[in-house]
C-alpha cells in the first residue's frame, strides 16, 4: 500500500479549539496514539478514548495516530480523524456523535433574515460562540473560505458542527461549493437539519433544479420531512439578468442574495463604498425578488471596524428594498438589526393585526379581519414576528397589548 | 530558613494549609473579618542626620557600591517593585551583584515579577536566591510549580504586601526602588524621564519600613525632585545607572480596546447589568482594569453615562487613555490611580490635579483604619476559575501551573459590588467548576459572574436578584452555568497533583487562605 499517511486539521500557535491529526496506516503493531494536548490534564484520557473509538469504528487495527490538540472539542477531533481516514480508505461509513436537542428546530419561509453571519467552514473556534451573538442566520461556509485541499475535512467539520454545536436558534445555513462539487456537499448536510443552502455563483434555473433533484433524493433516503430552503447568490452579470428565473425556479427559493465582490469583478470594475457600479444589479435583483414574492438580501459590508459606515450602508440597502445583509463579524449584527428594525408605522400596523387576531381567536372566529379587510394567516404570522422583533430590540415592551388597548380605549 | 513548610491544618474555607512556612509561624485563614492582630507596627531603626552627608548628596557610584554599603549579606531580605513591569532592568542587576559577591540564600520580595525576570532562575538554582515572596508571573511561576524553588513561595495582594511589611511579618533588609526621576537626596517619582510609569506607590511601604533604602534612577535631577512620591528622608543611598527600564515595555503607547466579539459581548452585558442594577447613577464610583474586557467595560460605561447624562465621582485606575478621556470629558471627577498603563495616563497624572496617585496604603491596606477599596461602588475583575460557591482563583490554571500574581485583586473584593466577567470556557478549559484549583477570594465577597452564556448572581445578593428580576439579560444559577460549560467541553478529569506544596496564598489580613501544590511531572 502506498501513500498511507494523511493529515487533517489546523496547526500553529494561534490556532484555538482545533487540532491537527496525522494518521499513518500500518500492517502490524496495533494502535499507537501520540497525543500532545493543551488540555492534556483535563481531557487527555477522554481524547485518547475518542481516538481509539473512531479508528475502531472504521475497522482500523494497525496505525499510528498523532493528535496535536489546541483545545478542540470531541466533535472537532472526530471530524479531523474521520477526514484523515477517508483520504486513505474508501468507505461510506460515518462516525456520528450525538445530535444535540437544542438544534432540533425548524425555520420558516417568512422568517426575518436581517443578518446572516458567515463563518469559515474549516475554523471551529469561530463556530462555538457564533450563536450567542444572535444573528438571524449562521452560515457555515464550504466555498470561498475553505482552501481547495481542505474541502473534505471542512465537509466533516460542518456536518459535526450542525449536529453538535448549539446555534442558539439562528437559522442553520450552509454555503455549498459551486457545481459539481457543491452537489457532493449535500450528503454531509441534508440529514443533519440544515435549514437553508446558499448556492454560490447562480446563473440559471437549471442549477436550482439540479440541486433540488439531489436534495429530494437525499431527503427521502434519510427520511427528512422539513423544507430545505435555498438562497441562490447572484454574483455575475448573467446571474443578474436571470434573477427572476432563479427566484421562481423552486418554491424552496425563499431569498436571493447578491455577492458584490465577484459581481464587480465580472463587470470589470471595482467595488466602491458609494456602490454606484452595482446600483443596477441591486435594483434589478430586488425587483425580481419582489415579483417572485421572496426576500432580497444584500451583500456583506467588509469594513468591520467602521460601524457608522455600516449603518449608512444598511439605510441605503433598506431603501432599495433589501430585507437583510451578510455579516462577516459578530459586532455587525446589532447594527444591522437596529438599522433594519421595523419603523414605528410598521410596528403600529403589526400591533393592530395581532390584536385583531387575538380578538378573533377569543371570539372563536375562523377569519381575522381588520376593518373591512380580511387578514391572511401568513400576514398574521409576519406581524407577530414584527412584534417579537420590536420587543427584542426594546422598541416596545413585552406587555405592549395593555398599552395598546389602553390607548385605543383612551 | 528551616523547612519549606510543616504542620498542615484545614482552614475556614476547607483548604489544607501549613502553620509554618520557611521557618515562620503562620495563621490559617479564619474567615473574612475574623483575624485581628494584637500587636504594634514594625519599627525600623532610628537614624540620625549626623550619619548622612550635610549637603544631602547621598549618591554613590554604582548599584554594587550601594548594596555593599547597605551591608548585603547571606540570608537577607531584598525587595523591589514592578513599576517598570516587563521592562524592569533593576531587579536582575541586584542579583547579578549578589552573585558576584557570592552572597547566598536571599529572600526576594518583589511587588510583582514579570517574564523579564526569567534571568533570575539561575540564581534560584544556584542558591543565590532562596525563595520569592511576591507574585510570580510566567517563567518564575512555572519554575516554582515544578517544585524547583528551595523555599516556599508566598503570594500576597498589593494591600497584603503593605500589611506584611507594616506588621513586621516581612522585615526588609534592603529595598531598591527604581524610579523614573530622582534627586541625589533620594526624593523620587515616576512621572518624568524615559522610564516614566506614573507613580511609585508600590514602594511606599518599603521606603517607610526597610532597614536600608536605595533609590536607582536613570534620570537624576538637581534637588528638588517633586512631587516626591518617595521622600528622600527615608533614603540611604542614591544611584544613577544608564537605564532602569525599557520604555516600550513599561507603558503601552497604544492601549486598545479588544476587538474580540466575545469579549465585547461580555463587556456590554456587564455594563448593561450595572445599569439595570442601579449601580451606574450620579456620583457613583468604579474600578475596571486594563485587560481587554475591562477596558471595553469602561468604554460601555462611558457610552451609558453620556446617553443618560450621568457623572461618576471617581474612577479607580489602572489608568489608560480611555479613562483619561472620561476625566477630560467630565464623565468622572477624579481618577485615583494605582498604576498607569499608557503614556496618556502618565501625562494626565503629571498635568491634571484631578488625576491623583495612590498607594497600597491608601487604597488597599487591611491592617489600617480603613481603606478606600470598600468605598468603590463596583469593581470589574478577572479570574482564571470560579466555582459553584463563587470562590475564585487568579493565580493558577486548571492544570495546576502557578502563572499569575494576585495584584490588587483580593483587596478589590471589598468593593460594594464585585463583578467577574469571564468566558464560560477558554479553548476547552471550563472556567466555572465544582471547585477552583486555588482559592484566592472567598465566594462571600464575589457578587456576580458574567459569562457570554448567562449571568449568575450570588444568592447572598438578594437586592441584585430583586433589581434584575424583570431583565432581558440571561440570569442563570451558577450551577446552570457550570453544567452548560461541561455540556460543551465535556466533563473534565480531576487533575492529579503532587502532595508537596510549593507556595502559599495569603489573604489580605496575613492569614493563609490556600496553598499551591506541585504539578505532577
**Chain B residues inside the 8 Å CB shell of A103:** none
CB-based contact (8 Å) between A44 and chain B? Answer: yes
Distance of CA A138 to the CA centre of its chain: 4
- Look at residue A131 and tell me if it is in a domain: yes
* Contact between residue B19 and residue B7 where contact means Cβ atoms under 8 Å apart: yes
Q: What is the pLDDT of residue B1?
A: 55
Q: For chain B, which ranges sit under pLDDT 50?
A: none
* Contact between residue A260 and residue A301 where contact means Cβ atoms under 8 Å apart: no
Q: What is the pLDDT of residue A254?
A: 98
Tell me which residue has cell 522585615. B171
**Percentage, residues of chain A above pLDDT 90:** 78
Q: Domain total for chain A?
A: 3
The residues with which B417 forms a beta bridge, in sequence order, are B378
In the structure, what pLDDT confidence band is assigned to residue A38 with cuts at 50, 70 and 90?
very high
- Look at residue A18 and tell me if it is in a domain: yes
- Look at residue A94 and tell me if it is in a domain: no
* Contact between residue A301 and residue A322 where contact means Cβ atoms under 8 Å apart: no
CB-based contact (8 Å) between A166 and chain B? Answer: yes
Strand order of the β-sheet with B432-433 is B392-393, B385-387, B432-433
Q: What is the pLDDT of residue B396?
A: 96
- Look at residue A9 and tell me if it is in a domain: yes
* Superfamily per CATH, domain B55-133+170-250: Glutaconate Coenzyme A-transferase (3.40.1080.10)
CB-based contact (8 Å) between B265 and chain A? Answer: yes
> Considering only CA atoms, which of B148, B133, B227 is closest in space to residue B189?
B227
Are A241 and A275 members of one domain? Answer: yes
Are A330 and A349 members of one domain? Answer: no
Q: What is the pLDDT of residue B254?
A: 65
Q: Do B429 and A128 touch (CB under 8 A)?
A: no
Q: What is the pLDDT of residue A341?
A: 84
**Percentage, residues of chain A above pLDDT 70:** 99
H or E segment at A315?
Answer: helix A307-320
As a whole number, mean pLDDT of residues A351-377 equals: 86
Alpha-carbon radius of gyration of chain B:
23
Are A81 and A132 members of one domain? Answer: no
- Look at residue A93 and tell me if it is in a domain: no
Q: What is the largest CA-CA distance in chain A?
A: 86
Are A330 and A380 members of one domain? Answer: no
Q: What is the pLDDT of residue B449?
A: 98
Task: In whole angstroms, give the CA distance from residue B266 to residue B286.
Answer: 17
Q: What is the pLDDT of residue A402?
A: 85
Does the pLDDT of residue A2 top 60, yes or no? Answer: no
Does the pLDDT of residue A143 top 90, yes or no? Answer: yes
* Contact between residue B189 and residue B178 where contact means Cβ atoms under 8 Å apart: no
Cβ within 8 Å of residue A278, ≥6 positions away = A258, A260, A263, A264, A271
Q: Which of A307, A340, A373 is the last residue of a domain?
A: A340
Q: From A304, which residue of chain B is nearest by alpha-carbon distance?
A: B259
Q: Which of A340, A363, A396 is the last residue of a domain?
A: A340
CB-based contact (8 Å) between B421 and chain A? Answer: no
Q: From A329, which residue of chain B is nearest by alpha-carbon distance?
A: B261
Q: What is the pLDDT of residue A360?
A: 87
> Considering only CA atoms, which of A356, A357, A342, A352 is closest in space to residue A388?
A342
Structural domain span for residue A106 = 101-340
H or E segment at A374?
Answer: strand A373-375
Q: What is the pLDDT of residue B288?
A: 84
Q: What is the pLDDT of residue B256?
A: 81
Q: Which of A317, A340, A363 is the last residue of a domain?
A: A340
Angle subtended by helix axes A400-409 and A377-392, to nearest 10: 110
Give the angle B168-B172-B178 at the CA atoms, nearest 5°.
130
Task: In whole angstroms, give the CA distance from residue A295 to residue A287.
Answer: 10
Cβ within 8 Å of residue B319, ≥6 positions away = B198, B335, B337, B339, B340, B341, B345, B348, B349, B355
Which CATH number covers residue A10? 3.30.230
Q: Which of B262, B300, B428 to mutate to test the interface with A (most CBs of A within 10 A)?
A: B428
Domains B55-133+170-250 and B261-496 share a fold: yes
Dump pLDDT digits (tens) for A83-95.
999 999 999 999 9
As a whole number, mean pLDDT of residues A138-151 equals: 97
Tell me which residue has cell 511589611. B165
- Look at residue A178 and tell me if it is in a domain: yes
Q: Do B429 and A42 touch (CB under 8 A)?
A: yes
Dump pLDDT digits (tens) for A326-346.
999 999 999 999 898 888 888
Tell me phi and psi for residue A135, to 5 degrees: -75, 160
Q: Count the neighbouring beta carbons within 10 Å of the beta carbon of residue A55.
A: 21
SS3 A229: strand
The overall average pLDDT reported for chain A is 93
Are A49 and A170 members of one domain? Answer: no
SS3 B138: coil
Q: Do B398 and A42 touch (CB under 8 A)?
A: yes
SS3 A232: strand
* Contact between residue B91 and residue B80 where contact means Cβ atoms under 8 Å apart: yes
- The ipTM, to two decimals, is 0.88
- Look at residue A397 and tell me if it is in a domain: yes
CB-based contact (8 Å) between B303 and chain A? Answer: no
Task: Domain B261-496: give its CATH code.
Answer: 3.40.1080.10
Pairing of strands A19-25, A5-9: antiparallel
Instruction: Tell me the domain boundaries of chain B.
Output: 55-133+170-250, 261-496
- Look at residue A296 and tell me if it is in a domain: yes
Q: What is the pLDDT of residue B374?
A: 96
CB-based contact (8 Å) between B258 and chain A? Answer: no
Grid coordinates representing A56 are 475502531
> Considering only CA atoms, which of A142, A135, A147, A184 is closest in space to residue A161?
A142
Q: What is the pLDDT of residue B112?
A: 95
Are A234 and A357 members of one domain? Answer: no
Q: Do A39 and B429 touch (CB under 8 A)?
A: yes
CA dihedral (A374, A377, A380, A381) in degrees, to 10, reads -170
Are A278 and A365 members of one domain? Answer: no
- Burial code of A178-215, b = ≥16 C-beta within 10 A, e = fewer? eeeebbbbbbbbbbbbbbbbbbbbbbbbebbeebbeeb
In the structure, what pLDDT confidence band is assigned to residue A3 with cuts at 50, 70 and 90?
low
Give the angle B408-B411-B414 at the CA atoms, nearest 5°.
140
Amino acid at each position: 500500500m502506498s501513500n498511507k499517511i494523511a493529515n487533517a486539521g489546523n496547526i500553529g500557535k494561534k490556532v484555538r479549539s482545533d487540532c491537527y491529526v496525522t494518521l499513518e496506516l500500518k500492517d502490524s503493531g496495533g494502535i499507537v496514539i501520540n497525543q500532545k494536548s493543551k488540555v492534556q490534564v483535563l481531557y487527555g484520557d477522554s481524547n485518547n478514548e475518542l481516538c481509539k473509538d473512531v479508528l475502531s469504528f472504521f475497522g482500523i487495527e494497525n496505525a499510528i495516530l498523532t493528535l496535536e490538540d489546541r483545545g478542540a472539542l470531541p466533535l472537532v477531533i472526530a471530524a479531523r480523524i474521520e477526514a484523515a481516514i477517508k483520504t486513505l480508505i474508501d468507505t461510506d461509513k460515518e462516525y456520528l456523535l450525538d445530535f444535540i436537542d437544542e438544534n432540533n428546530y425548524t425555520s420558516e419561509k417568512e422568517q426575518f433574515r436581517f443578518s446572516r453571519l458567515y463563518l469559515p467552514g474549516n475554523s471551529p473556534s469561530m463556530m462555538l460562540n457564533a450563536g450567542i451573538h444572535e444573528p438571524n442566520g449562521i452560515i457555515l461556509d464550504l466555498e470561498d473560505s475553505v482552501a481547495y485541499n481542505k474541502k473534505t475535512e471542512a465537509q466533516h467539520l460542518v456536518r459535526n458542527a450542525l449536529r453538535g454545536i448549539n446555534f442558539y436558534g439562528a437559522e442553520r445555513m450552509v454555503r455549498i461549493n459551486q457545481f459539481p462539487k457543491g452537489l457532493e456537499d449535500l450528503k454531509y448536510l441534508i440529514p443533519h437539519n440544515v435549514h437553508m443552502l446558499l448556492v454560490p455563483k447562480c446563473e440559471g434555473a437549471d442549477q436550482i433544479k439540479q440541486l433540488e433533484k439531489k436534495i429530494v433524493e437525499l431527503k427521502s433516503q434519510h427520511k427528512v420531512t422539513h423544507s430545505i430552503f435555498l438562497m441562490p447568490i447572484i454574483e455575475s452579470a448573467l446571474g443578474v439578468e436571470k434573477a427572476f428565473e432563479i427566484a421562481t425556479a423552486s418554491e424552496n427559493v425563499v431569498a436571493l442574495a447578491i455577492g458584490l465582490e465577484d459581481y464587480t469583478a465580472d463587470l470589470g470594475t471595482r467595488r466602491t463604498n458609494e456602490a454606484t457600479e452595482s446600483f443596477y444589479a441591486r435594483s434589478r435583483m430586488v425587483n425580481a425578488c419582489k415579483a417572485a414574492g421572496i426576500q432580497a438580501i444584500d451583500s456583506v459590508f467588509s469594513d468591520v471596524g467602521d460601524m457608522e459606515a455600516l449603518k449608512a450602508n444598511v439605510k441605503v440597502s433598506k431603501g432599495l428594498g433589501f430585507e437583510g445583509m451578510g455579516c462577516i463579524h459578530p459586532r455587525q449584527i446589532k447594527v444591522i438589526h437596529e438599522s433594519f428594525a421595523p419603523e414605528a408605522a410598521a410596528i403600529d400596523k403589526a400591533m393592530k393585526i395581532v390584536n385583531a387576531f387575538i380578538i378573533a381567536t377569543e371570539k372563536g372566529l375562523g377569519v381575522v379581519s381588520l376593518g373591512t379587510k380580511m387578514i391572511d394567516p401568513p400576514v398574521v404570522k409576519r406581524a407577530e414576528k414584527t412584534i417579537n422583533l420590536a420587543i427584542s430590540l426594546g422598541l416596545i415592551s413585552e406587555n405592549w397589548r395593555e398599552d395598546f388597548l389602553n390607548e385605543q380605549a383612551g | 530558613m528551616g523547612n519549606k513548610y510543616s504542620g498542615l491544618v484545614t482552614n475556614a474555607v476547607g483548604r489544607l494549609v501549613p502553620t509554618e512556612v520557611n521557618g515562620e509561624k503562620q495563621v490559617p485563614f479564619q474567615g473574612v473579618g475574623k483575624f485581628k492582630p494584637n500587636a504594634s507596627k514594625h519599627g525600623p531603626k532610628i537614624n540620625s542626620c549626623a550619619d548622612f552627608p550635610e549637603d544631602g548628596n547621598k549618591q554613590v557610584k554604582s548599584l554594587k557600591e550601594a548594596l555593599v554599603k547597605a551591608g548585603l549579606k547571606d540570608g537577607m531580605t531584598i525587595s523591589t517593585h514592578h513599576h517598570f513591569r516587563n521592562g524592569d532592568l533593576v531587579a536582575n542587576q541586584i542579583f547579578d551583584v549578589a552573585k558576584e559577591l557570592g552572597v547566598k540564600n536571599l529572600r526576594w520580595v518583589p511587588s510583582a515579577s514579570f517574564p523579564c525576570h526569567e534571568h533570575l532562575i539561575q540564581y534560584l538554582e544556584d542558591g543565590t536566591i532562596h525563595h520569592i515572596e511576591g507574585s510570580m508571573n510566567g517563567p518564575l511561576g512555572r519554575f516554582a510549580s515544578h517544585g524547583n524553588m528551595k523555599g516556599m513561595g508566598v503570594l500576597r495582594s498589593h494591600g497584603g504586601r503593605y500589611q506584611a511589611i507594616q506588621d513586621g511579618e516581612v522585615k526588609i533588609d534592603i529595598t531598591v526602588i527604581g524610579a523614573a526621576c530622582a534627586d541625589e537626596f533620594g526624593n523620587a517619582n515616576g512621572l518624568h524621564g524615559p522610564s516614566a510609569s506614573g507613580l511609585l506607590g508600590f514602594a511606599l511601604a518599603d521606603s517607610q519600613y526597610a532597614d536600608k533604602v536605595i533609590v536607582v534612577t536613570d534620570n537624576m535631577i538637581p534637588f528638588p525632585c517633586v512631587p516626591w512620591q518617595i521622600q528622600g528622608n527615608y533614603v540611604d543611598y542614591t544611584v544613577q545607572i544608564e537605564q532602569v527600564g525599557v520604555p516600550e515595555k513599561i507603558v503601552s503607547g497604544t492601549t486598545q480596546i479588544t476587538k474580540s466579539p466575545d469579549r465585547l459581548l461580555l463587556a456590554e452585558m456587564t455594563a448593561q447589568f450595572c445599569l439595570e442594577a442601579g449601580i451606574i447613577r450620579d456620583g457613583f464610583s468604579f474600578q475596571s482594569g486594563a485587560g481587554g474586557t475591562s477596558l471595553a467595560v469602561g468604554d460601555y460605561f462611558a457610552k451609558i453615562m453620556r446617553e443618560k447624562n450621568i457623572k461618576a465621582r471617581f474612577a479607580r485606575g489602572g489608568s489608560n487613555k480611555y479613562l483619561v478621556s472620561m476625566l477630560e470629558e467630565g464623565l468622572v471627577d477624579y481618577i485615583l490611580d494605582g498604576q498607569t498603563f499608557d503614556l496618556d495616563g502618565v501625562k494626565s497624572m503629571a498635568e491634571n490635579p484631578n488625576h491623583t496617585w495612590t498607594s497600597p496604603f491608601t487604597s488597599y491596606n487591611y491592617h489600617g483604619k480603613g481603606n478606600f477599596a470598600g468605598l468603590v461602588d463596583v469593581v470589574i475583575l478577572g479570574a482564571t476559575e470560579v466555582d459553584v460557591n463563587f470562590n475564585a482563583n487568579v493565580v493558577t490554571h486548571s492544570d495546576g501551573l502557578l502563572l499569575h500574581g494576585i495584584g490588587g485583586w483580593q483587596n478589590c473584593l471589598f468593593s460594594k459590588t464585585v463583578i467577574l466577567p469571564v468566558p464560560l470556557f477558554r479553548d476547552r478549559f471550563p472556567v466555572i467548576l465544582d471547585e477552583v484549583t486555588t482559592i484566592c477570594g472567598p465566594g462571600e465577597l464575589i457578587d456576580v459572574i458574567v459569562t457570554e452564556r448567562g449571568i449568575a448572581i450570588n444568592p447572598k445578593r438578594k437586592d441584585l436578584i430583586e433589581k434584575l428580576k424583570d431583565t432581558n439579560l440571561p440570569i442563570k444559577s451558577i450551577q446552570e452555568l457550570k453544567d452548560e460549560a461541561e455540556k460543551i467541553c465535556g466533563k473534565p478529569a480531576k487533575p492529579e497533583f503532587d502532595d508537596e506544596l510549593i507556595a502559599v496564598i495569603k489573604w489580605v489580613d496575613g492569614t493563609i487562605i490556600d496553598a499551591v501544590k506541585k504539578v505532577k511531572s
